[in-house]
Every structure is written in structure tokens, then in C-alpha cells.
Amino acid sequence: MNPPPRGRLGPLSYLIFSSRWLQLPLYLGLIVAQAIYVVQFLRELWHLIDTSLFGHMDMTSGESAEATIMLTVLGLIDVVMISNLLVMVIVGGYETFVSRLKLDGHPDQPEWLSHVNATVLKVKLAMAIIGISSIHLLATFIKAKAMDGQVIMWQILLHLTFVVSALALAWMDRIMGPAEEHAGET
């Protein structure tokens, strides 16, 4: 049995190759999730404006006005970082696993997209998760008086696990990099 002519796929190959489009609803769902994060950001922003300009504070929490504002700002930063993570997954994942976006030369093309691959995407995601974890850890330290010491310890251990995982991914990418470059030369 002869293989199909170059440039044409057999029925099974075509089915397998086309199955990548099953990921499209997943990326569209992440776009909906990002829209929900925009709504959450606007709610948090309104809470910040209401708290700082109009002095409407929840005094039952036992936190100072400064701590409340700081925690709200950290919440805003958290929402932005998660939204950035979603953009990386949506754009980078679609470009890597589904289809090219054909953005070459577009003035708004993200710089990182020109050299995105699965490994780069994993490292970028790991770094974003560390950033998000850092925000949560900082918020925990601000509320430390009201928190259980064991909860704080577990959050620190989880954060350190994220850091070690990201370092391991970056290290593996670095040691695999030269081998991948030389494989393309043969």
C-alpha cells in the first residue's frame, strides 16, 4: 500500500490532524472566563473607590482602612495576573496546538508569541502562577493576625513548590534547548 501523495492526508491522518479543532470550544470557554474576570475586576475596583473615596468600610473585619485598601489593590492585581495567564493560554495554546493566528507584522502582536512553543508556554505559565501565588501569600501576611499558622505554613510550602517546579521546567528547557537545535541541523 502506497502512502498518500505528499501534501494530502489519508482519511485517518486527516481525522487525527483535524481533531485539534476540538480544542476550539475550550479556548472560547476561556474567553468567557476572562469576561467574567473583567466583571470581577470592575466589582473590586468599585469596592476600592467606595472604600477610599466614600469611606464605606466593613468594620466587622477588624482590618484598618489601609489594610482593606491594600488587600483590595492586591485583589485587583490578582485578577489582572489571572487574566494575563488566560491570554497566554488562549493565544499561545491556540497558536501552538490548533492553528496559526497569522499575526506576523501586526503592530499589536505580543512579542513572546513569535517564539512560542509548548515548552515556552509552560515556563511562562509557571512564572505567572508564581506571581499569582505571591499575591495570595502577600495578602495572607497582611491578614496574618487573623489566620491559622498552619494555613500560612501550607501556603508558603505551596508557593515554594511552584517556584521549584518553575525552576525545574526552565532548567529542563535549557538542557533540552541545545539538543533540539542540533536535531534540526541534521
This prediction's pTM: 0.71
Confidence of residue 38 (pLDDT cuts 50, 70, 90): very high
Q: Cα–Cα distance between 124 and 166 in angstroms, integer?
A: 9
Comparing 79 with 145, which gets the higher pLDDT?
79
**Average pLDDT score over the chain:** 82
- Is 135 exposed, middle or buried (CB count within 10 Å of its CB: 0-12, 13-18, 19+)? buried
Q: What is the model's pLDDT at position 185?
A: 43
**pLDDT band, residue 27 (cuts 50/70/90):** very high
How does pLDDT run across 115-137, given as a tens digit for each residue?
A: 777 777 788 888 888 988 998 88
Q: Does the structure show a pLDDT above 50 at 46?
A: yes
Span of 36-45, 54-63, 137-146, 175-184 with lowest mean pLDDT: 175-184
